[in-house]
Amino acid sequence: MSNRTTFTTKLGVIAATVGSAVGLGNIWRFPYETGQNGGAAFLLVYLICVFFIGVPVMIAEFSIGRSAKANANKAYKILSPGTHWNIIGIMGIFASIFILGFYSVIAGWTLEYVFQALTNGLAGKSAAEFQESFTGFSSDTFRPLIWIFLFLALNYFIVSRGIKDGIEKASNILTPLLFVILIVFCIRSIFLPGASEGLKFLFHPDFSKIDSNVILRAMGQAFFSLSLGMGTLTTYASYFSDNTNLSKTAVTVGILDTTVAVLAGVLIFPAAFSFGIDPSQGPELVFITLPNIFQHLPGSLFWSVLFFILLSVAALTSTISLCEVGVAYLHEEFGITRKKATRILIAFCIVSSTLCSLSFGVLKDFKLFGLTIFNFCDFTASNILLPLGGMLIAIYVGWVLNKKIVFNEVSNRQSLKVGFFKLLIFCIQYIAPIAIALIFLSGLGVFNV
Ligand code: PFF
């Protein structure tokens, strides 16, 4: 156990964990959720959720992973032998395959758009033509699959190489690259005429907009965005070294993840307002509206290519962390090589993402519980498996796991000062499970707010 691979540097830990957190959830979902839920008021609630619920649950996940130094299933078996708490890990592995299914579809689309932008395929189109070509492409049987498979191949290439030579190396390059591209974009966006309207929308809260629905949506967004509740962070923490400061890492990830989401807002809202576009649109905002906006900018080709590369990079650093959940499990539990484990996991993902992709075209009328396959995977993972996992993790660490283990992990075997420990345990024991139970029930439609 002691010679388990670890991330080799502090940068590696942060780059990989921030890379997992920062993804389509920040650049696509956050602006759209903010747009639909009152702008700055949503942002304010989101910040509270990230720091009072998200960060404590993240520290809980880190403590499980690092103390057990094992995959998300085995970690519970080591810490609580003879119990069934490992169900949390198993749920996480299923959730990762579901999320990889629908997430890879969107990631595949971003690669197509990089290609389109590079070959000037986005130039000179009207808004209606953008809509038409997006619908035509996403409902096609084969073309999206080519990009999805290419995207999964990139995942295979990175994850099969292992933690140090694969995930850490790729994250060290891709995560900083993402920040650089994003900052270039924000600077471009805030100098557009009329940009201040967009900034006002994002930063001037109107407290009358805060209602229980806004709170619940903000919490859901915080969970998805921080990659919580499904073993990803447990698995990554199993590769942290003994002197990684868990609470500092969690706070850093929370701050950087939120910064990227806010920067994505700074990129999108001024641009949308400047061109008179409704910021509350869903997937269209990225795939239909933004290329349309870029066309009106000098150097449109450059901006389009850069934006879709940004999205692909963000998606890739998240999906490698999702793959690692299943790969670590298969590799450690069944004693197969990492390469073989990655091949098996990718094979599952090929099936789930193919079905998700076809559900925009030939399988669009095939429904599971009234949802298309894509929406079913999204719904089951985001609204059921993830919040349920998060709640169980908080209950497990708050009420079941020996507090000494948690204390030892958070204080690095009593070598760090942890004056906040009581507050942390209070958040894990009470605030997080109750808050998550509310998201969970509302996600299931048990009550409507
Ligand atoms: N946090 C990622 C995003 O915001 O796009 C999505 C994600 C990655 C969710 C990894 C869950 C996960 F385990």
The span from the CA of 58 to the CA of 252, in Å, is 11
Atom number, ligand 1, closest to the C-alpha of residue 232: 13
pLDDT (tens digit, 9 = 90+) per residue, 47-74?
999 999 999 999 999 999 999 999 999 9
Percent of the chain predicted with pLDDT > 90? 59
- Among residues 398, 381, 427, the alpha carbon closest in space to that of 25 is found at 381
Residue 330, Cβ neighbours under 10 Å: how many? Answer: 21
What stretch of H or E contains 39?
Answer: none
* Chain center to CA of 386: 11
Identify which has the larger pLDDT, 404 or 214.
404
| Residues 6+ positions from 38 with CB-CB distance below 8 Å | 206, 209, 210, 214
Least confident of 82-86, 236-240, 269-273, 348-352: 269-273
282 pLDDT higher than 70: no
Residue 418 · residue 411 · CB < 8 Å: yes
- Tokens 């407290």: give the residue: 207
The span from the CA of 292 to the CA of 127, in Å, is 6
Identify which has the larger pLDDT, 197 or 78.
78
Atom number, ligand 1, closest to the C-alpha of residue 224: 9
- Among residues 143, 144, 166, the alpha carbon closest in space to that of 319 is found at 166
The span from the CA of 379 to the CA of 82, in Å, is 32
278 pLDDT higher than 80: no
Could you tell me the distance, in angstroms and rounded to a whole number, from the CA of residue 225 to the centre of ligand 1? 5
Residue 50 · residue 222 · CB < 8 Å: yes
**Token pair listed for 115:** 């290609």
The span from the CA of 32 to the CA of 202, in Å, is 12
Atom number, ligand 1, closest to the C-alpha of residue 231: 13
440 pLDDT higher than 80: no
In 42-190, beta strands by DSSP E: none
Which pLDDT band holds residue 448 (cuts at 50, 70, 90)?
low
Q: Which residue's CA is the nearest one to ligand 1's atom 7?
A: 227
The pLDDT score that the predictor gives to residue 364 is 93
284 pLDDT higher than 70: no
Could you tell me the distance, in angstroms and rounded to a whole number, from the CA of residue 229 to the centre of ligand 1? 10
The pLDDT score that the predictor gives to residue 2 is 52
Least confident of 235-249, 250-264, 286-300: 286-300
**Rounded to two decimals, what is the model's pTM?**
0.92
The pLDDT score that the predictor gives to residue 447 is 66
What's the mean pLDDT in 286-315? Answer: 84
Residue 54 · residue 48 · CB < 8 Å: no
The pLDDT score that the predictor gives to residue 339 is 96
Task: Give how far Cα 48 sits from Cα of 131, 188, 437, Å.
Answer: 36, 29, 17
Q: Which residue's CA is the nearest one to ligand 1's atom 13?
A: 227
Could you tell me the distance, in angstroms and rounded to a whole number, from the CA of residue 103 to the centre of ligand 1? 9
The pLDDT score that the predictor gives to residue 367 is 94
The span from the CA of 18 to the CA of 43, in Å, is 19
Could you tell me the distance, in angstroms and rounded to a whole number, from the CA of residue 224 to the centre of ligand 1? 5
pLDDT (tens digit, 9 = 90+) per residue, 85-103?
999 999 999 899 899 999 9
Locate all alpha helices (DSSP H) within 275-337, ordered by sequence: 284, 290-295, 300-333
Task: Give how far Cα 378 sits from Cα of 121, 142, 356, 384, 388, Å.
Answer: 30, 22, 10, 9, 14
The span from the CA of 360 to the CA of 283, in Å, is 13
Mean of the per-residue pLDDT values of the chain: 90
Which pLDDT band holds residue 198 (cuts at 50, 70, 90)?
confident
The pLDDT score that the predictor gives to residue 3 is 66
Q: What angle do helix axes 55-68 and 432-443 make, rounded to 10 degrees?
A: 110
Task: Give how far Cα 370 sits from Cα of 133, 141, 297, 376, 444, Å.
Answer: 27, 22, 42, 8, 14
pLDDT (tens digit, 9 = 90+) per residue, 325-341?
999 999 999 999 999 99
Atom number, ligand 1, closest to the C-alpha of residue 314: 5
The pLDDT score that the predictor gives to residue 443 is 64
Q: Which residues line ligand 1 (CB under 6 A)?
A: 20-21, 23-26, 99, 224-225, 227, 230, 232, 318, 321-322
Tell which one of 18, 88, 103, 224 to mutate to probe ligand 1, the residue whose CB is within 8 A of the most ligand atoms: 224
**Token pair listed for 407:** 């204390």
Q: Residue 371 carries which DSSP code? A: B
Could you tell me the distance, in angstroms and rounded to a whole number, from the CA of residue 97 to the centre of ligand 1? 12
The pLDDT score that the predictor gives to residue 1 is 46
Q: What is the largest CA-CA distance in the chain?
A: 64
pLDDT (tens digit, 9 = 90+) per residue, 408-432?
999 999 999 999 999 999 999 999 9
Could you tell me the distance, in angstroms and rounded to a whole number, from the CA of residue 92 to the centre of ligand 1? 12
* Chain center to CA of 266: 19
Which of 38-42, 59-63, 160-164, 273-277: highest mean pLDDT? 59-63
Task: Give how far Cα 322 sits from Cα of 21, 61, 208, Å.
Answer: 10, 15, 38
Could you tell me the distance, in angstroms and rounded to a whole number, from the CA of residue 25 to the centre of ligand 1? 7
Could you tell me the distance, in angstroms and rounded to a whole number, from the CA of residue 117 to the centre of ligand 1? 26
Which pLDDT band holds residue 193 (cuts at 50, 70, 90)?
confident
Ramachandran angles phi, psi of 254, nearest 5°:
-60, -45
pLDDT (tens digit, 9 = 90+) per residue, 14-30?
999 999 999 999 988 88
Write down how long the chain is.
Answer: 449
- Among residues 76, 111, 67, the alpha carbon closest in space to that of 316 is found at 111
